[in-house]
Structure 1
Amino acid sequence: MAPPAVRKTLTWSCAVDLGEAGWGVPCGAQAAAEQVHATMQIPIFTVDAFTSRPFAGNPAAVCLLENDLDEDLYQKIATEMNLSETAFIRKLKPGDDFSKSSCFGLRWFTPVSEIRLCGHATLASAAVLFHIQKNTNSVLSFMTLSGELKARQVKDHIVLDLPLCPAYPQAAVGDMSVQDVRYSPDIKSLLVRLSDTYERSVLEELKVSAQHFLSAEKTGKVKGVILTVKGNSSGKGHDFYSRYFAPWYGVLEDPVCGSAHAVLGSYWSEQLGKKEMLAFQCSPRGGELKISVRSDGRVDIAGQSAVVLKGNLTF
């Protein structure tokens, strides 16, 4: 005996698009799927910057946007990613192409706020365009809150063209272990140079408390603290070492910070009498940066990158 017609209809409704058969309605399963998946998808990547090895350097999330998002979505995505920074690369014109265009919009968000400058997330953004999107241009330009920033490929490194950020002397009271204190208004950060008697290991072993930082500074003038020591006086190896803490941005420690090195490059160039320097940020993840201070008030910061995640944000 043939099964009831209604059962045949139910079976077909899960396997056939009845709209294609001229019935004028979509298949039940497809309709349900369309309802569930009627969402936005944004390509997203995680890139470890200033390292050639996965799980080292400084991780940044990078999103590719066809158009602007609702303003609150930027922060929601950055909070969801919960990395020190999430970068958003945006096409500037309808005809732009991530593999062919040379100029894009770029914004950076920490888990709690937007920031004006971020070096490692800019390097990560350039890495996505150069290495994943196979962008054909030799130089990429990014329009940002800090003006136009450029990135170019040089062998296995990406070189960032960033503004040089000078730091101005500040008074240090009551601690002989501090040799110098400077303040950079450009990135609202204190640079604290420890005594030259200290070595790299002192920075590496240092334990800090976010609450102590937040309790000590509530004016809003300081958003980050750079600790640094001089490198090996023999001229071999790294010229200086550093760590960077920014709990005011929701990030206790930024593992390898490009914008901090726009300050460090200015400072150590003056102190060492050098334009070309090799730096190492000795956070637990660690990362190496090549620094070239230019005469036009800019600094080239070069580093490598490793893409560790590719996918889509779906919401």
Structure 2
Amino acid sequence: MDIPIYTVDAFTKVPFEGNPAAICLVDPEHDLSEAQMQKVAAEMNLSETVFLRNKEKNGSFSKGNSFHIRWFTPTNEVNLCGHATLATAAVLYNELRNPSSSVKFDSLSGELVVSKDGNGFVMNFPLNETIVQDKAEYHKLLELIVSVDCVETVEYSPPTKKLLVRLTDKMTRKQLESLTPDISSMMAAEVTGKVKGVIVTLKGSTENGAVSSDGETYDFISRYFAPWNGIPEDPVTGSAHTVLAYYWGKVLSKKTLFARQCSRRGGDVRMRVLEGDRVDLIGQAVTVLKGSFIL
């Protein structure tokens, strides 16, 4: 069978920046097994590959507004992926000209709603709480990423299994971007399964270089490492920003936030913290490839 497939760069308006994701449109009459989906994701070798299905048997990708979504890394399935969800909405709206005011995705993280916002998209996601941790518990892991003397605090998000590492305010954007974690040793240092990803983040300021190309100061900047999911470093991570929005919203006492993920490709994310433990993630996306995957 031929499966329509797109590659979309998310959280950017410029091709070959942001975070790429593959989106596969699966016909309900030609369902794929989990083993097949995992093989496709491994073949694409992107941080995420999406498998999208209509909820209705005779539903249309170009007209429907309710879908099932699953996300696979090259090595395993994950419960939530922001950039790939953004990329999926871009395919529905920009490529297939879906006229719906919003689209809903049933997922392992519950129902997710995405709507258009000017030239970008708004994703309504769960806001994921963090809990303060004892730095000593993670000393071995931290030393593989950055000197512990440069760490202000460590917090943990149980729903996402993400460890948030805030650097001291004396650090700069350049220093954050220069970090070279020992990825293979990170995996060996954490084998309990508690941690599936590490967010390293820094408060933004004009003094430390956290300024956008348009001259706007970021509230915070970050990088994200998830070798336990087959992703040494993710370019731009929506799920990480559901954690970062909680943490920095609390620290800065702000409901609206603007951030940069400082990977080599990089990308910008805007956030609105909402009542009821939800957060809007806002970003743009651009399609760079379309074709068919043959199984």
TM-score, structure 1 normalization: 0.86
What SS does structure 2 have at the residue aligned with 1:176? Answer: helix
Alignment correspondent of 1:266: 246
What is the CA deviation profile of residues 213-262 of structure 1, one whole-angstrom value per residue up to 9, with x for unaligned ones?
10110001100000000001789510000000000001100100000000
Picking from 19, 35, 43, the partner of 1:58 is: 19
Unaligned runs of 5+ in 1: 1-39
What is the CA deviation profile of residues 110-160 of structure 1, one whole-angstrom value per residue up to 9, with x for unaligned ones?
000000000000000010001111111010000000000010001011010
TM-superposed deviation, 1:71 = 2.1
Partner amino acid for 1:120? H
TM-superposed deviation, 1:91 = 1.2
Picking from 127, 131, 150, the partner of 1:177 is: 150
1:281 counterpart = 2:261? yes
Picking from 230, 252, 257, the partner of 1:250 is: 230
CA distance in 2: counterparts of 1:248 and 1:196, whole angstroms: 28
CA distance in 1: counterparts of 2:101 and 2:152, whole angstroms: 42
Q: Is the 8 A contact 2:48 2:73 kept in 1?
A: yes
TM-score, structure 2 normalization: 0.92
TM-superposed deviation, 1:203 = 1.1
**Within 5 Å, which residues of 2 pair with 1:86-125?**
86-125=49-88
Alignment correspondent of 1:230: 203
Report sequence identity in percent.
50
Structure whose CA Rg is larger? 1
Partner amino acid for 1:62? I
Partner amino acid for 1:245? F
What SS does structure 1 have at the residue aligned with 2:149? Answer: coil
Alignment correspondent of 1:30: none
Alignment correspondent of 2:106: 143
Q: Is the 8 A contact 2:103 2:115 kept in 1?
A: yes
Alignment correspondent of 1:207: 180
- Ranked by relative contact order (alpha carbons within 8 Å, sequence separation 6 or more), the top structure is 2
**Within 5 Å, which residues of 2 pair with 1:10-89?**
40-67=1-28, 68-89=31-52
* Large movers: runs of 4+ above 4 Å: 233-236
